[in-house]
């Protein structure tokens, strides 16, 4: 019996070394060392042997088991490595190569959207402004009428920067602080858009990122009404998405606008996308920025640009924007 076991093991080791695929290895493993394999068959036959023979046969079976398992493992590693090498070879990208007749790259989809929106609004007579991404509490919250302990501060999960007094410096959670900066340094009339990157301490999923982009729009002038705002938003939506898209406003709450609304865009297939918030600039905010709310009124809106770009290109998961996979990026 011991000789039979040795022959079986020697044969299995030779077959393992010669195996051409992982499937062949799996089949061999089942045939020899698996629960119903040949070695298990010998184990079952051991019951009829006397104790001394049983010990010898047991040792031979153990040795055979190890020997075959080692050979299977070694060949599996070799085949794995060969598979990885050939996959890398297949997917190899020569990034130093400029391919004739093809562009070497293009602007990121969200950056394309920002450029296009800036053009649309500049065409309507708006200016473009920018503000810092690391903000103080005054611009990100207090000047925007978020009371010190106001629960609305929790609406936006904030990343705090370890600088100055605790809680004093933040990564801006929205582009609305740029409204404050614009109003602080220029008298009305104001017609300005403010694109930029914003940060929230949120887990990323198909519709949320921790770092995303917004476009803020601020108008302050005499006699500005909610109707001007609704008209501007609808006009912009048609200009950006084309006919077939429309908007609706739903009542909402933001401390810095009153009344406030949520803007949804209706896609041609009838589905809705939440695009952003809007409202009439709160009189306290105008006053905080040194503008007389008796004389001036205004509206503001803030749109999520990543969702906007995704809708436009039929992308269903915002995390694809962070992809570095050329097969994803090349499609746009
Ligand atoms: C705001 O940020 C307000 N500052 C908008 C505003 C401006 C209201 C001016 C009134 C006047 P909100 O938290 O709802 O509001 O965010 C606005 C939009 O940003 C959302 O509708 C959505 O399109 C986008 N957004 C919000 N969180 C995320 C996220 N984690 N990932 C991607 N987009 C997001």
pLDDT for the residue 91? 83
Q: Is the CB of 307 under 6 A from ligand 1?
A: yes
Structure tokens at 88: 């890398």
Task: Say whether pLDDT at 62 is over 80.
Answer: yes
Counted residue by residue, the chain has a size of 332
Query: Per residue in 177-209, pLDDT tens?
Result: 999 999 999 999 999 999 999 999 999 999 999
In the block, which residue shows the tokens 């729009």? 217
Mean pLDDT of 65-85: 92
Residues 19/27, Cβ–Cβ less than 8 Å? no
pLDDT for the residue 98? 62
| CATH superfamily of the domain spanning 109-329 | Bira Bifunctional Protein; Domain 2 (3.30.930.10)
Nearest CA to ligand 1 atom 7: 302
β 246-254/257-266 pair status? antiparallel
Which of 105-119, 165-179, 272-286, 292-306 is predicted with the least confidence, judged by mean pLDDT? 105-119
- Any idea of the CA torsion for 70, 71, 77, 82, to the nearest 10 degrees? 170
Closest ligand 1 atom to 173 CA: 2
Nearest CA to ligand 1 atom 21: 276
Structure tokens at 297: 């009124």
Ligand 1 geometric centre to CA of 185 (Å)? 25
| 59 vs 5: CA distance, rounded Å | 11
- Any idea of the CA torsion for 283, 289, 290, 291, to the nearest 10 degrees? -50
Q: Is the CB of 274 under 6 A from ligand 1?
A: yes
For the chain, give the mean pLDDT.
Answer: 90
Task: Say whether pLDDT at 11 is over 70.
Answer: yes
pTM of whole model > 0.85? no
Task: Say whether pLDDT at 149 is over 90.
Answer: no
pLDDT for the residue 119? 92
Query: Of 111-115, 217-221, 272-276, 324-328, where does the model show the most confidence?
Result: 217-221
Residues 144/153, Cβ–Cβ less than 8 Å? no
List the one residue out of 317, 330, 273, 312 whose CA is nearest residue 117.
Answer: 312
Q: Where are the domains of the chain?
A: 2-91, 109-329
Q: Is the CB of 200 under 6 A from ligand 1?
A: yes
pLDDT for the residue 299? 98
Ligand 1 probe mutation, 205, 260, 304, most atoms within 8 A of CB: 304
Query: Per residue in 255-290, pLDDT tens?
Result: 999 999 999 998 888 989 899 999 999 999 999 999
| 332 vs 330: CA distance, rounded Å | 6
């Amino acid at each position: 019996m011991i000789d039979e076991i040795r022959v079986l093991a020697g044969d299995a080791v030779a077959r393992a070394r010669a195996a051409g695929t992982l499937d062949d290895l799996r089949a061999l493993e089942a045939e020899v060392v698996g629960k119903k394999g040949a070695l298990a068959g010998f184990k079952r036959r051991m019951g009829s042997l006397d104790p001394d023979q049983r010990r010898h046969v047991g040792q031979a079976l153990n040795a055979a088991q190890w020997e075959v398992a080692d050979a299977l493992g070694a060949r599996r590693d070799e085949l794995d490595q060969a598979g990885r090498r050939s996959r890398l070879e297949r997917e190899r990208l020569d990034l130093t190569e400029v391919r004739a007749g093809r562009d070497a790259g293009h602007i990121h989809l969200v950056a394309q959207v920002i450029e296009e929106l800036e053009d649309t609004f500049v065409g309507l007579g708006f200016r473009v402004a920018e503000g810092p991404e690391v903000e103080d509490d005054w611009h990100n919250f207090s000047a925007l009428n978020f009371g010190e302990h106001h629960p609305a501060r929790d609406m936006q999960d904030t990343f705090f920067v370890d600088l100055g007094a605790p809680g004093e410096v933040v990564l801006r959670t929205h582009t609305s602080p740029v409204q404050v900066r614009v109003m602080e340094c220029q008298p009305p009339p104001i017609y300005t858009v403010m694109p930029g990157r914003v940060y929230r301490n949120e887990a990323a999923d198909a519709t949320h990122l921790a770092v995303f982009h917004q476009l803020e729009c601020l108008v302050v002038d005499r006699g500005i009404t909610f109707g001007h705002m609704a008209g501007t938003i609808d006009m912009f939506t048609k200009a950006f998405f084309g006919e077939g898209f429309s908007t609706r406003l739903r009542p909402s709450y933001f401390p810095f606008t009153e009344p406030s609304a949520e803007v949804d865009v209706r896609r041609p297939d009838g589905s809705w996308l939440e695009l952003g918030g809007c409202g009439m600039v709160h009189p306290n905010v105008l006053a905080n920025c040194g503008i007389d709310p008796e004389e001036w009124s205004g509206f503001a809106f803030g749109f999520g640009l990543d969702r906007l770009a995704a809708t436009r290109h039929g992308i269903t998961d915002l995390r694809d924007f962070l992809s570095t996979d050329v097969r994803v990026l090349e499609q746009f």
